[in-house]
Every structure is written in C-alpha cells, then in structure tokens.
Chain A
Amino acid sequence: SQTIHQWPATLVQPVGSPLSLECTVEGTSNPNLYWYRQAAGRGLQLLFYSVGIGQISSEVPQNLSASRPQDRQFILSSKKLLLSDSGFYLCAWRWDANEKLFFGSGTQLSVL
C-alpha cells in the first residue's frame, strides 16, 4: 500500500532562518506531488506541484522554493523565513491527473 511521510510535525523558526520540509511517498512510482499551505481556519493554497523528477511548477510567487531530487521525494525550502511564512504545510500525492489527492499529516510552522 502507499504511504506518505511528512516531517517534522511542528517547527518553530526565527525570522531570517532557512527552512527545509521533506515529504516522501512509499509504495508507488512517478507520483504527482504537491505542496499546500493552510492558514488557521482557512482553505488550502497550492504552492508547488511536480509531475516528475526535476519538474517544478510554482503557483504563487513568494519566499519559498521546491525541489524534487528523487522520484518520491519533494522538498519545500526557504533561504530566509518571513513572519508571513507561518502556517500549516501539507504535502500530497496522486497517481495521475484526474485522480484523488492523498495528503500527509502536515507540518505546523511558526515563524517568530
């Protein structure tokens, strides 16, 4: 069966520090991968998605970047965090277009 791992679960970082969130998927190959952000009590904002290794599509210009160094690994990064980067970050995958998304457990990021 397929599983998605996302870590850490919570993270507190000072403003100006770097960020690296990692997501891995097991039990499938060549998944479509996604990073979402969710502010408290709000909806889901798509940040990046990838349909293959090294292929990244950015949805919202901002302080973040994403990379896919391996087929089942998706990384969200920042060189210098801003207060506005705080939020709940969710990784998700699916087999292909026209299919449902499966979400990870999320990372609660607080930038102070």
Chain B
Amino acid sequence: GESVGLHLPTLSVQEGDNSIINCAYSNSASDYFIWYKQESGKGPQFIIDIRSNMDKRQGQRVTVLLNKTVKHLSLQIAATQPGDSAVYFCAENPRVGAQKLVFGQGTRLTINP
C-alpha cells in the first residue's frame, strides 16, 4: 500500500557512476509499473514504464528491470548527472482495470560532484 508517512530513503552516488534505485511490490496481480522523477517543488515526471509481460525495458540512459518472481522493480540510470538529483517514485497498477496506482515511498537520489 501507499507509504505516505515515511521519510524518504536516500541514495548518494558519484557523478558519472551508474545509479540503481529499487522498489519492492507485494501484489502478484500487478500488471503495469511506472517510474517517476520529482524535482523539488515540481510535479512528478514520467520516466519509463513496463508491462508485466516484459522483464526489461530501456530508454535514454535509463533501464527498468522487472523481476516478478521476487516482486522487485529497479531503475538503472547510466552515467549519473547532477540533473538526475531528485526523488524517484515507483508505481504499480495493482490489477487490470484498477482506477488507482499504488505509489512507493520514494527514494531521494543525491549526486556527489
């Protein structure tokens, strides 16, 4: 379920390194997953999505991996840049036809120069 009351976990990486942000989900019926990036004071921005019939999907500098066996989703960002500093949220569609997405608690990514 939604974890709106928890403080955000933080991930710090060196500029130029790869970042991996993880998300666990609990609903085996979830069929669609989305990653969002939220910069300070702005609304969340769509990054990449993946349907449950896929294990991997690549975008520009980003890759999403889905492991349905262990109910795990990850976002990989290649060659992290200062502009990647933000809070990253995963979201899942808990079942076909669900009217609401379920959001993870978010992870704050900090880039060290």
Instruction: State yes or no: do A and B come from one complex.
Output: yes
**Chain A interfacial positions (CB closer than 8 Å to B):** 6, 32, 34, 38-39, 41-46, 49, 51, 57, 59, 90, 92, 97-98, 100-106, 108
Chain B contact residues: helix, strand, loop or mixed:
loop
Asked if residues A104 and B46 are in contact (CB atoms below 8 Å), the reply is: no
| Per-position 1/0 for B1-38, Cβ under 8 A of A | 01111111000000000000000000000011010100
Asked if residues B42 and A106 are in contact (CB atoms below 8 Å), the reply is: yes
**Chain B interfacial positions (CB closer than 8 Å to A):** 2-8, 31-32, 34, 36, 41-46, 49, 89, 91, 93, 96-101, 103-106
The total of Cβ contacts below 8 Å across the A-B interface reads 71
Q: B108: nearest residue on chain A (CB-CB)? A: A41
CB < 8 Å neighbour of B2 from A43, A51, A104, A108: A43
* Residues of B with C-beta under 8 A to A57: 99
Given the known interface contacts A43-B2, A44-B103, A51-B99, the answer about A97 and B43 at a Cβ–Cβ threshold of 8 Å is no
Asked if residues A97 and B93 are in contact (CB atoms below 8 Å), the reply is: yes
Min C-beta distance of A32 to chain B, whole Å: 7
Asked if residues A43 and B4 are in contact (CB atoms below 8 Å), the reply is: yes
A sample of 25 cross-chain residue pairs with beta-carbon separation below 8 angstroms, ordered by A number, consists of: A6-B43, A41-B7, A42-B4, A42-B6, A42-B7, A43-B4, A43-B8, A43-B89, A44-B44, A46-B2, A59-B100, A90-B44, A97-B93, A98-B31, A98-B32, A98-B93, A98-B97, A98-B98, A100-B46, A101-B34, A102-B46, A103-B45, A106-B41, A106-B42, A106-B43
